[in-house]
A and B are shown apart, each in its own frame.
Chain A
Amino acid sequence: EVQLVESGGGLVKPGRSLRLSCTASGFTFGDYAMSWFRQAPGKGLEWVGFIRSKAYGGTTEYAASVKGRFTISRDDSKSIAYLQMNSLKTEDTAVYYCTRLMVYAIRGGRLDYWGQGTLVTVSS
């Protein structure tokens, strides 16, 4: 059974850092791209960023709203994806979800498995 479990959320002051982890099981983690999304309280879903599998270079892409502040990495030996969040702002307050991204050969894809989410609250 595929499972994604996020951890590391909590209350943090503006300007501080936090690292989220996404621990995967039930599939060959290294074969898949992983994405992070977030959902502010009562709001819709916003893409944060993603990391390709090592077979495709393990490179990353980010939303403009977090680029330069957030960093995604992966440890395939431990089946964990990380979201390092620096210089946090109050507007980063949200539930953060990691997702498995099934990428199609030419373009497109689907988010076929999601973690349960972890709440990050940025407040003084």
Chain B
Amino acid sequence: DIQMTQSPSSLSASVGDRVTITCRASQSISSYLNWYQQKPGKAPKLLIYAASSLQSGVPSRFSGSGSGTDFTLTISSLQPEDFATYYCQQSYSTPSGTFGPGTKVDIK
């Protein structure tokens, strides 16, 4: 099974900050990597698919990069509505693509 790790597990940031979250796969997954945002009490929301493609309707301050085993999600200028938990998910082994443990972004 492919294992996913994320770092950091949590971070504190201010509005306007540039935020970077890292995701690593236990084996190469090419670009089969998605990113989701989840707010408390809500369902996850797809942000980025295929490592770097922005899902329709998602603000352009979100971007993704990477391939193989190492990936990043970047928020170029953090907004108040971005405080949430972010999950990466490998889709190499769709339909059972495993999620990372999440990175919680909260207010500094």
Residue among B44, B46, B95, B102 facing the most chain A CB atoms (10 A cut-off)? B95
Chain B interface extent, by class: 20 to 34
Interface residues of A, dominant DSSP:
strand
Task: Answer whether A61 and B46 are a contact pair too, CB < 8 Å, given A44-B102, A108-B32, A108-B91.
Answer: no
B96 at the A interface (CB under 8 A): yes
Chain A interface extent, by class: 20 to 34
A111 at the B interface (CB under 8 A): yes
Q: Is the CB of B49 within 8 A of A110?
A: yes
**Residues in chain A near residue B97, CB distance under 8 A:** 47, 109
Interface residues of B, dominant DSSP:
loop
CB contacts under 8 Å to A, within B31-50, are 32, 34, 36, 42-46, 49-50
Task: Answer whether A110 and B46 are a contact pair too, CB < 8 Å, given A44-B87, A44-B101, A45-B87.
Answer: yes
Task: Answer whether A109 and B102 are a contact pair too, CB < 8 Å, given A45-B44, A114-B45.
Answer: no
Q: Is the CB of B94 within 8 A of A108?
A: yes
**Residues in chain B near residue A110, CB distance under 8 A:** 34, 46, 49-50, 55, 91
Interface residues of A (CB under 8 A from B): 33, 35, 44-47, 50, 61, 63, 97, 101, 103-104, 107-117
* 19 A-B pairs with C-beta separation under 8 A: A33-B95, A35-B95, A45-B87, A47-B95, A101-B94, A103-B94, A103-B95, A104-B94, A107-B94, A108-B32, A108-B91, A110-B34, A110-B50, A110-B91, A111-B44, A112-B55, A113-B46, A114-B44, A115-B43
